Amino acid sequence: MPEPQPSRLDEIDAQLLDLLQRDAERTLHELGERVGPSPSAVQRRIARFRKDGLITRQVAVLDPHRFGPTSWPRSW
């Protein structure tokens, strides 16, 4: 199987990826307002990022200070 080719990113792609990496819960509308394209154009770009393997998963970052000593999740 051939190796995937690196994606070509423009400045809007780079800005979107930066915003998503900082907070993936931003709405399409908010992302579009921050970097320029319409929400539907942002959605298409995010779909392309996933298809191209730039975004592989979305995770929650937990704050360990919010848990008591015995209630920290043991999923790992």
pLDDT at 75 over 80: no
CATH code of the domain made up of 11-65: 1.10.10.10
Q: 40-68 burial by CB neighbour count: b if 16+ within 10 A, else e?
A: eebeebbeebeeeebbeeeeeeeeeeeee
Q: Within 13 Å, how many C-alpha atoms sit on residue 38's CB side?
A: 3
Task: Report the mean per-residue pLDDT for the chain.
Answer: 87
Q: What percent of the chain has pLDDT above 70?
A: 80
Residues 6+ apart with CB under 8 A from 15: 34, 35
| pLDDT tens-digit readout, 30-61 | 999 999 999 999 999 999 999 999 999 998 88
Answer yes or no: pTM beyond 0.85. Answer: no
- For the cut 80, the answer to whether the pLDDT of residue 4 exceeds it is no
Q: Where are the chain's structural domains?
A: 11-65
